[in-house]
Amino acid sequence: MDVYYDNGGNFIGTAHIYHDRQQEQWLSESMASRKNGDHIGLATKYTNALATDLKEIRASYVGRGTKSMRLSLERSLINVQNSSVDLFYVHYWDSRTSISELMHALNDLVSSGKVNRGISDASPWVVTKANPYARDHGLRQFVVYQGMKYGASYLHWYRQE
């Protein structure tokens, strides 16, 4: 991390599920020990509960629903020892959560000052539905799209649901 920062690196992406759930904490500890946390932007992601979450899974804590999003962000904020993150990605698309629920929940988090929002590893059609919905309802849109590689072999992802 020192080499990255010393050479101008100023933004780091992570997720609470990376490296056996420890990467957010490692990054936070590293930035605290180097006293450079105010100079580095931090992105994190939230995703479905995984098999490794079995001890923690609670009712309504699946998918991209409002409760799952809120609990994931709360855990990440504890891990990074901060009251906000610069970018909060929706990681992978979950068709069980409606676009309206997702965008309203994200908007609430943005309004609270805890996050800015993005989406990663979702097909482009999700963004083409979500951003107009947000715009039409006075909500904030996705500001970052970190897409998968969408070549001919991924055309099945483009289908409308």
Instruction: Copy the structure tokens of residue 12.
Output: 């780091």
3-class SS of residue 145? strand
State the residue for tokens 């999700």.
126
- Sheet hosting strand 144-146, strand order edge to edge: 11-13, 41-46, 87-91, 117-120, 144-146
By annotation, the residues acting in catalysis are 18
CA distance 146 to 156: 18
How far is Cα of residue 7 from the mean position of the Cα atoms in its chain?
26
CA distance 149 to 159: 15
